[in-house]
Amino acid sequence: MDSGQHAVRQRPGILRTLLGLLVMVAFVFVLSWLLRTFVFQAYEIPSGSMEETIMTGDMVFAEKVSYLFRDPEPGDIVTFKDPEIPGRILIKRCIAVGGQTVDINDEDGLVYVDGEPLSEPYVDGKPSYRLAGGVVYPYTVPEGHVWVMGDNRTNSQDSRFFGAVPVSSVTGRGALVYWPLNDFKLLD
């Protein structure tokens, strides 16, 4: 090329541009699917079973990474597959794990695990009562299962109703209320 000639750069063709756009869109969809499947999931809370900790209508992120390395522990807020309605996910607090014994004293409204009353500031003073169901107390949680209860004990169908749930049905750990902004907080 002599000094008087200039190289002309051609613009990519429309087909090449569309192909690049399709690849980028596919990448975004695959990445979002991977994040949703293996890292976190967003949920809208449909009921008051976890009030005052999580309010009806709050949007919550549940993270899935923790339970790749450990099982749920008492105090964790967990999401899990509803044992009664296929495809529905519930959110409750893990109260006891496999091998622990749960009892509920209807007289004092307290939950006992292994004979000790739980300190549960998150129930906001609401009593816990036994619910009509197939659960006989004291109840020993089977290995590989967790006992879950809503923080709003007077308005929650939980393990008192359907028994312990398998750890294999736990889908994540409630980590963050992100909407509405005035309810924004980390969950403990």
Q: Choose from 61-75, 89-103, 130-144 the range with maximum mean pLDDT.
A: 89-103
Question: Among 45, 37, 76, 32, which residue's Cα sits nearest to residue 178?
Answer: 45
Question: How far apart are the C-alpha atoms of 97 and 25, rounded to whole Å?
Answer: 43
Mean pLDDT, residues 113-134: 90
Mean pLDDT of the chain: 88
Please tell me the distance from the alpha carbon of residue 45 to that of residue 57, in angstroms, as a whole number: 5
**Distance between CA atoms of 40 and 124, rounded to whole angstroms?**
28
Is 126 a known active-site residue?
A: no
Residue 154, helix vs strand vs coil: helix
Yes or no: say if 78 and 90 are a contact pair by the CB < 8 Å rule: no
pLDDT one-digit tens code per residue, 9-66: 666 688 888 888 888 888 787 777 766 666 678 888 888 899 989 999 999 999 988 8
- Report all structural domains of the chain as residue ranges with CATH numbers, in order of start: 41-186 (2.10.109.10)
Annotated active-site residue 49? The verdict is yes
**Catalytic hit among 64, 92, 128, 156:** 92
Question: Is this structure's pTM higher than 0.75?
Answer: yes
Q: Residue 117: pLDDT above 90?
A: yes
